[in-house]
Amino acid sequence: MNTLMDVLHHRPGWVEVKDEGEWDFYWCDVSWLRENFDHTYMDEHVRISHFRNHYELTRKNYMVKNLKRFRKQLEREAGKLEAAKCDFFPKTFEMPCEYHLFVEEFRKNPGITWIMKPVARSQGKGIFLFRRLKDIMDWKKDTRSSDDQKDDIPVESYVAQRYIENPYLIGGRKFDLRVYVLVMSYMPLRAWLYRDGFARFSNTRFTLNSIDDQYVHLTNVAVQKTSPDYHPKKGCKWMLQRFRQYLASKHGPEAVETLFSDMDNIFIRSLQSVQKVIISDKHCFELYGYDILIDQDLKPWLLEVNASPSLTASSQEDYELKTSLLEDTLHVVDMEARLTGREKRVGGFDLMWNDGPVSREDGAHDLSGMGNFVTNTHLGCVNDRKKQLRQLFRSLQGQKKTPN
Amino acid sequence: MLQEESDLALIIAQIVQKLKGSNLYTQLERQAWASLQRPEIKLESLKEDIKEFFKISGWEKKLQNAVYSELSVFPLPSHPAAPPEHLKEPLVYMRKAQGSWERRILKSLNSMCTELSIPLARKRPVGEQKELLNKWNEMGTDEPDLSLFRPVYAPKDFLEVLINLRNPNYENGDSHSFRTHLGLIQVPLKVKDIPELKEFFVELGLTAGQLGVDDSTQVPPELFENEHVRIGQKVLSEQDSAAAQQYIRQGSPTALRAELWALILNISSQPEDILYYEQLKTNVIQHDLLVDSLIYKDVKLTASNDDYYFVFEDYLYQVLLCFSRDTSVLGHFAYSSASPPKSYIRGKLGLEEYAVFYPPNGVIPFHGFSMYVAPLCFLYHEPSKLYQIFREMYVRFFFRLHSISSHPSGIVSLCLLFETLLQTYLPQLFYHLREIGAQPLRISFKWMVRAFSGYLATDQLLLLWDRILGYNSLEILAVLAAAVFAFRAVNLMEVTSLAAAEAVLADLSTLKVMPLLQIFLFATVT
């Protein structure tokens, strides 16, 4: 089910360019970008779906570095309390260069579980959990010996991250959330948050006993698909609306508001931390897939940011979510130049940050009372995008007909 | 006047009788004794003082709730001399039909048993018991070979039985005449028409606020929602069952629903209740029943495949396996037209002293049974509480959906109500569907038998079940079924086969229940 092709083909007035023809819009691979971006001339109106150095946000080791630096800066400028708002990333150390720092932290917290992740791979490949230093010493030896044979292959970077041992469970299962954030520019920072998303469930019940059972801990659908328990009919996902309702009926609306506003905080701060580093080319935009894990205290943690979130649909519902997501992305990118640029909502996207916080239209008060600004975000809320788009485009047409 | 008084006296006597055997009575007694220590209790005015104490400490409220609960559940005796069968089901032909249906089910179960040479019950060896205990929280990971098991019956089998129900006192003849019904149900039961339904469901009217309508994003919460939530919190703090039941007619706020339902069903998790559940769990561990495999199969076929309920698979086993061993459920057979199936210890067939109810709770699960439990997992996470709520929902409501009776909330009445509503208010549609061989009941039956579980989106389903509790009646299921047909009438008029009609009505997951009901009941020109 190729959502991207379907959406692009169905868009009125859009034609697919073959071979070496000139293009106005390119939804490209990151590999194409790496090879071609620097020597491709683009007219002003041309749009491309990645930022040149997006890896500052999406590669785990770079993201950690950027976040740590941003946090220090915040502490200097605004104090410890403000800096603490950046503590949504589990303690992470780059390997092998921060190995000694890691060992120090490891010794301070005996008995906890750590997770080792390759920085560049996705879909859960190469990940494992460990509790003893011995486990990674063995692994170090293994990787070292294989490298001796092939010197021209660079040593793959890993990060060691503190494993969240008390994840929030539903039905005894662990899950993580996939949320979509669209960044139209970094300087100034303009970011949109999509209302829909989903919770991905692990197929097996959560227990800390079986560290070796990688199927329990990794909730990506890609890994789950290889588990012997996996039944494709199960489609182990919940739409975010369902997840939000479930939490509300269990913990009450205030707790849910707090959780979701903490998540807003994650999106904004993570983007701010790479704002100055990412080359903000006006041709570029990027649709990120954020992976969030909730723990039992209802605190959200950032697991990672994906520059190329999967657009393959695993079910009919998934297909509709992803096609709507892509359609609305194209509406925001606005190749057709229909928008005024002052919109706060386009379809399922709400403008979350526009070089500063964006307030909600109805001026809702801050329920949590914690001084988090009430952003114009509606994650997991009703997404009546078709109706909104109709009204939006109708009023835009009206404005065009009667120029001031 | 005298008749009413003696009726009332009879009712009071019955309720007192019932409550005397309950835990509440013991607690009240204990509280009364303990209160003698209190300074405000004086010997001269002992009775009044203790009553006053009960009022202040909330015990009177608990007693009120218990009485209200009894009134809601038990039918009022029609006549002091009426035999117990009349309490179960006053009409003889209905009783007979239910009896023969039960015999069929039991026969089917026994033959499956013989075919597969599996005993109806067996004690588990110690090793197996230990294993099951370890796996208690993740029974879903078990993949026993269930291929040889078949569900004992499916809703459509039951529908065929209902279609063939006839009242022997009502001579229709085999030929169609003005007096035969155009629908599938051919028994003359009294069902409400729209004016009567409007009166019955008056709180759903257009002038009253509703959750499910007036809490949508366009409506500012100050208009209705905020005040409604505030009232809900007050009702909960007062712990008044009757008030909660009245309140919930306009829907329950998400955050308050779990507590409100528990209050209406008069469920409080006492240590005895938790112990009782643990005892049931022990029974499951020690003995294996044939129905367990049926339950496993049902869960795997239905709830596990559902996009939303799959997460709660383990809870479903924990509830349903215990449910089938719960002999307290046998109590509901006093007012149900059904009777628990009997089985005999091996070799003692026919000897009453060796008869046991099988399964111990007398309820043989059918295909889709687990869907009664699945939506409750959304609200209750503690197994014993979840269990209590489900059990109470079953003995108050769900049992009526799969037994043959003349009760207004029984499935037969619901079917007839549905068909009558459709026929009366959408005659063109009804006639068209009938002509193309797509009798509407054939499509809506499965919705009603499952109380729409698995067909509606969960939040909509919970809003619907709010009203079932609020009105203490299942009639709303038939009204909703008719409203769905009315909503899709335009598309249905264009279909030319049963399969096409099924396709139009295959996906109800986007429907908003309350607006549909309001339009059908209050905004349609009658």
Tens digit of pLDDT for each residue in A6-15?
A: 999 899 888 8
What tens digit of pLDDT does each residue of B247-291 get?
999 999 988 999 999 999 999 888 889 999 999 999 999 998 888
B41 phi and psi, to 5 degrees? -90, 115
Shortest alpha-carbon distance between residue A290 and chain B (Å): 22
Query: A202, A229, A230, A246: which to substitute to probe chain B, counting the most B Cβ within 10 Å?
Result: A246
For B253, the closest chain A residue by CA position comes to A249
3-state secondary structure of B390: helix
Which of B456 and B304 is assigned the larger pLDDT? B456
For A10, residues 6+ apart whose C-beta sits below 8 A from its C-beta are none
pLDDT given at position A199? 94
Q: Which residues of A touch B220 (CB under 8 A)?
A: 362
pLDDT given at position B245? 93
For A232, the closest chain B residue by CA position comes to B305
Q: Which residues of B touch A248 (CB under 8 A)?
A: 254-255
CA distance B158 to B172: 23
**Token code pair at residue A224:** 């789950």
Most confident among A39-48, A297-306, B42-51, B65-74 (mean pLDDT): A297-306
The model's confidence at residue B46, banded by pLDDT at 50, 70 and 90, is confident
Which range, of A270-284, B304-318, B500-514, averages the lowest pLDDT? B304-318
Residue B299 vs residues B204, B263, B309, B345, B365: alpha-carbon distances, Å: 34, 28, 10, 29, 11
Residue B252 DSSP symbol: -
Q: Residue B493, Cβ neighbours under 10 Å: how many?
A: 12
Query: A249, A251, A296: which to substitute to probe chain B, counting the most B Cβ within 10 Å?
Result: A249
What tens digit of pLDDT does each residue of B131-158 get?
888 888 878 777 777 777 888 888 889 9
Q: How large is the average pLDDT for residues B346-368?
A: 79
Cβ-defined contact of A249 to B378 (cutoff 8 Å)? yes
What tens digit of pLDDT does each residue of B422-478 get?
998 899 999 999 999 999 999 999 999 999 999 999 999 999 999 999 999 999 999
Mean pLDDT of chain B: 87
Query: B254, B316, B373, B510: which to substitute to probe chain A, counting the most A Cβ within 10 Å?
Result: B254
Residue B75 DSSP symbol: P
Cβ-defined contact of A249 to B304 (cutoff 8 Å)? no
Q: How large is the average pLDDT for residues B22-40?
A: 83
Cβ-defined contact of B141 to A229 (cutoff 8 Å)? yes
Residue B224 vs residues A108, B208, B221, B228, B230: alpha-carbon distances, Å: 54, 9, 6, 6, 10
Chain A CB within 8 Å of residue B202 CB:
no
CA distance B498 to B504: 10
Percent of chain A with pLDDT over 70: 81
pLDDT given at position A198? 92
Is the predicted pLDDT of residue A203 greater than 90, yes or no? no
| CB hemisphere CA count around A209 (13 angstroms) | 3
Which of A227 and A287 is assigned the larger pLDDT? A287
pLDDT given at position A216? 47
SS3 content of chain B, % helix, strand, coil (to 5): 60, 0, 35
Chain A CB within 8 Å of residue B315 CB:
yes
The model's confidence at residue A218, banded by pLDDT at 50, 70 and 90, is low
Q: How large is the average pLDDT for residues B11-20?
A: 82
For B319, residues 6+ apart whose C-beta sits below 8 A from its C-beta are B373, B383, B386, B387, B390
pLDDT given at position A208? 63
Q: Are A176 and A361 in contact (CB under 8 A)?
A: no
| Cis, peptide link before residue B75, omega less than 30° from 0 | no
CA distance A207 to B426: 56
Q: Which residues of B touch A201 (CB under 8 A)?
A: 311
Shortest alpha-carbon distance between residue B464 and chain A (Å): 16
Shortest alpha-carbon distance between residue A232 and chain B (Å): 10
Give kind and range of the element (H or E) at residue B463. Answer: helix B458-471
| Cis, peptide link before residue A110, omega less than 30° from 0 | no
pLDDT given at position A332? 94
CA distance B479 to B417: 8
Q: Are B287 and B121 in contact (CB under 8 A)?
A: yes
**Token code pair at residue B449:** 């038998």
What tens digit of pLDDT does each residue of A107-166 get?
888 888 888 887 766 656 677 788 888 777 766 666 555 444 444 444 567 888 888 889
For B15, residues 6+ apart whose C-beta sits below 8 A from its C-beta are B67, B70, B71, B74
Percent of chain A with pLDDT over 90: 36
Q: How large is the average pLDDT for residues B327-352?
A: 80
Q: How large is the average pLDDT for residues B5-18?
A: 79
Residue B353 DSSP symbol: G
Chain A CB within 8 Å of residue B382 CB:
no
Q: Which residues of A touch B376 (CB under 8 A)?
A: none
Which range, of A35-39, A83-87, A332-336, B177-181, averages the lowest pLDDT? B177-181
How large is the greatest C-alpha to C-alpha distance in chain B, in angstroms?
Answer: 82
Which member of B137, B217, B458 has the closest CB to residue A172?
Answer: B137
Which of A370 and B394 is assigned the larger pLDDT? B394
What tens digit of pLDDT does each residue of B192-216 get?
988 999 999 999 988 888 888 877 7
Q: Are A176 and A199 in contact (CB under 8 A)?
A: yes
Q: How large is the average pLDDT for residues B54-62?
A: 85
CA distance B444 to B478: 9
Instruction: Give chain A's contact residues with B (Cβ, < 8 Å).
Output: 170-173, 201, 204-205, 229, 233-238, 242, 245-246, 248-253, 315, 317, 362, 381-382, 384
Rounded to 10 degrees, what is the CA torsion of B353, B358, B360, B364?
A: -160
The pTM for the full model equals: 0.84
Burial of B344 (0-12, 13-18, 19+ CB in 10 A): middle
Q: How large is the average pLDDT for residues B110-116?
A: 84
pLDDT given at position B265? 93
Residue B325 vs residues A166, B283, B286, B368: alpha-carbon distances, Å: 35, 7, 11, 19
Is the predicted pLDDT of residue A352 greater than 90, yes or no? yes
Cβ-defined contact of A249 to B254 (cutoff 8 Å)? yes
Is the predicted pLDDT of residue B506 greater than 90, yes or no? yes
CA distance A83 to B167: 78
Cβ-defined contact of A245 to B137 (cutoff 8 Å)? no
Mean pLDDT of chain A: 82
DSSP collapsed to 3 states, chain A: CEHHHHHHHHCCCCCCCCCCCCCCEECCCHHHHHHHHHHCCCCCCCEECCCCCCHHHHCHHHHHHHHHHHHHHHHHHHCHHHHHHHCCCCCEEEECCCHHHHHHHHHHCCCCCEEEEECCCCCCCCCEEECCHHHHHHHHHHHHHHHHHCCCCCCCCEEEEECCCCECEECCEEEEEEEEEEEEECCCCEEEEEEEEEEEEEEEECCCCCCCCHHHHCCCHHHHCCCCCCCHHHCCEEEHHHHHHHHHHHHCHHHHHHHHHHHHHHHHHHHHHHCCCCCCCCCECEEEEEEEEEECCCCEEEEEEECCCCCECCCHHHHHHHHHHHHHHHHHHCCCCCCCCCCCEECCEEEEEECCECECCCCCCCCCCCCCCCECCCCCCCCCHHHHHHHHHHHHHHHHHCCC
CA distance B429 to B444: 14
Which of B443 and B73 is assigned the larger pLDDT? B443
pLDDT given at position A117? 80
**Token code pair at residue B435:** 């002509």
pLDDT given at position B161? 92
Q: Which residues of B touch A202 (CB under 8 A)?
A: none
Q: Which residues of A touch B317 (CB under 8 A)?
A: none
